[in-house]
Structure 1
Amino acid sequence: MRILIAEDDALLREGLAMLLRSEGFEVLAAVDNADDLLAAFEAADADGAVLDVRMPPTFTNEGLRAALELRARRPGFPVLVLSAYVEDRYASRLLAGGADGIGYLLKERVGNVAEFVDTLRRVIGGATVMDPEVITQLVGRRGFNDPIRTLTPREHEVLGLMAQGLANQDIAEKLFVSETAISKHIGNIFAKLNLSVSDSGHRRVLATLAYLRS
């Protein structure tokens, strides 16, 4: 898999490049700003990009705008956006232009190499992966009479893992329960939130986020 990296912090940029190369990725370019990322994108046939939300010159949302531009130039182009802290409006903007191949993670997740690499592979494969903190923030904004408040602690856990784009089997393994139990939890969640149980994969993420944002 051929990857582009855009991160202004030199240490993290080089660390990401070394990590991905060690995992079998081909790093086509590792740059520190959005303009160079877009230039590298035009010059190489990449399979995906990992980029920071905030980059020079203003350190506001250059990375986000670059991600949107990449996907405008090549619809569905996989992007994994990293941020020092979650701002769910960025996640919303990313999802607004189409959901296939979208990832939004806190930078601290990079420290768990296995999970980070797995997330990147899934995003390149077309999955939608949102940091669980996005769900935590959105849930925290709901009113006390909202149906989301009726979810049990276990259902909240399952909801957070669903937001990461995990399949039922993967959620079951993480929570050390049976896949049947997870299916029941998801059925309960969707029933309480009035969501279609027929949704699967990244569509479940979108449905969940759409409800929480509404």
Structure 2
Amino acid sequence: MRIVVADDAVLLREGLVRLLTEAGCEVVAAVGDGPSLVGAVVAHKPDVSVVDVRMPPSHSDEGLRAAVEARAKVPGSPILLLSQYVELSYADDLLADARGSIGYLLKDRVVDVDDFLDGLRRVASGGTVLDPEVVSQLMVRRRASDPLAGLTPREREVLELMAEGSSNTAIARRLVVTEGAVEKHVRNIFTKLNLTQDSDQHRRVLAVLAFLRS
């Protein structure tokens, strides 16, 4: 994978570069501010960018805003947000893109390098990877209107695990049911959310987006 790393903390940025290089990835740019991230994405069109949410000058949401801008200039460019904080101000702009290729992980909760690298690969290949805490805070913010009212409790449970990036096999193992049962729940979710088969849009990603907005 060709990767752009954006983090203003020099030690963390260089640590990520070393980790990714040792894992066989090519870090095409390592930057420390939002404008540099946008420039790097436009120049290199990486397979995925690892972006800190809070960067100079105000250390609030510059990284997140830069990620939104980068996706606007290079449509569908994969972004994995890696932060200590859940910042939702511009997250909707990223998550609303039905093309997927979006992740949001919390630094303090990444405890396994292989899991982190797997998340990178899934985002690079068009998937959505979200820390459960991010999912939880997004849910709290959006309870006012619920487009998922027609789902059963089990279907909601399956959809929540989908939002965390779990495969059908992983969901079956987590819920102690057969993979066939999970596939049936997923089909029901697609039907109830009116997500018909469409080669231009990924139904699994669209279902997760509907869940996050609910």
Aligned-partner Cα distance in 1 for 2:96–2:195: 22
Asked whether the 8 Å contact 1:109–1:116 carries over to 2, the reply is no
Bigger shift: 132-141 or 28-37? Answer: 132-141
- Secondary structure at the counterpart of residue 27 of structure 1: strand
1:187 deviates by 5.3
Asked whether the 8 Å contact 2:54–2:61 carries over to 1, the reply is yes
Aligned-partner Cα distance in 1 for 2:17–2:65: 22
Asked whether the 8 Å contact 2:196–2:203 carries over to 1, the reply is no
Q: Which residue of 2 aligns with 1:86?
A: 86
1:136 deviates by 2.0
Superposed CA offset, 1:65-89 (max 9, x none): 2112211221111111122222344
**Distance verdict in 2 for CA 1:111–1:127, change over 3 Å:** same
4+ residue runs over 6 A deviation: none
Structure 1: 5+ residue runs without aligned partners?
A: none
Q: Which residue of 2 aligns with 1:104?
A: 104
1:195 and 2:174 are equivalent in the alignment: no
Q: Which residue of 2 aligns with 1:13?
A: 13
1:131 deviates by 2.5
Whichever residue aligns with residue 49 of structure 1, its letter is S
Whichever residue aligns with residue 11 of structure 2, its letter is L
Higher helix share: 1
1:103 deviates by 1.4
Structure 2: 5+ residue runs without aligned partners?
A: none
Superposed CA offset, 1:31-66 (max 9, x none): 211122233334435222110111001111111121
Asked whether the 8 Å contact 2:190–2:207 carries over to 1, the reply is no
Q: Which residue of 2 aligns with 1:158?
A: 158
Aligned-partner Cα distance in 2 for 1:85–1:199: 36
Superposed CA offset, 1:99-147 (max 9, x none): 331112222343321211111111111112233223323444537x996
Q: 1:29-48 residue pairs with structure 2 within 5 A?
A: 29-48=29-48
CA RMSD for the aligned pairs? 3.2
Asked whether the 8 Å contact 1:82–1:107 carries over to 2, the reply is yes
Residue correspondences, number:
211
TM-score when normalising by structure 2: 0.79
TM-score when normalising by structure 1: 0.79
Asked whether the 8 Å contact 1:127–1:202 carries over to 2, the reply is no
1:65 and 2:55 are equivalent in the alignment: no
Whichever residue aligns with residue 95 of structure 2, its letter is L
- Secondary structure at the counterpart of residue 111 of structure 1: coil
Asked whether the 8 Å contact 1:91–1:104 carries over to 2, the reply is no
Asked whether the 8 Å contact 1:164–1:205 carries over to 2, the reply is no
**Distance verdict in 2 for CA 1:212–1:68, change over 3 Å:** closer
**Distance verdict in 2 for CA 1:147–1:51, change over 3 Å:** closer
- Secondary structure at the counterpart of residue 90 of structure 2: helix
Q: Which residue of 1 aligns with 2:56?
A: 56
Whichever residue aligns with residue 105 of structure 1, its letter is L
**Distance verdict in 2 for CA 1:108–1:182, change over 3 Å:** farther
Asked whether the 8 Å contact 2:148–2:193 carries over to 1, the reply is no
Whichever residue aligns with residue 170 of structure 1, its letter is A
- State the percentage of identical aligned residues: 53
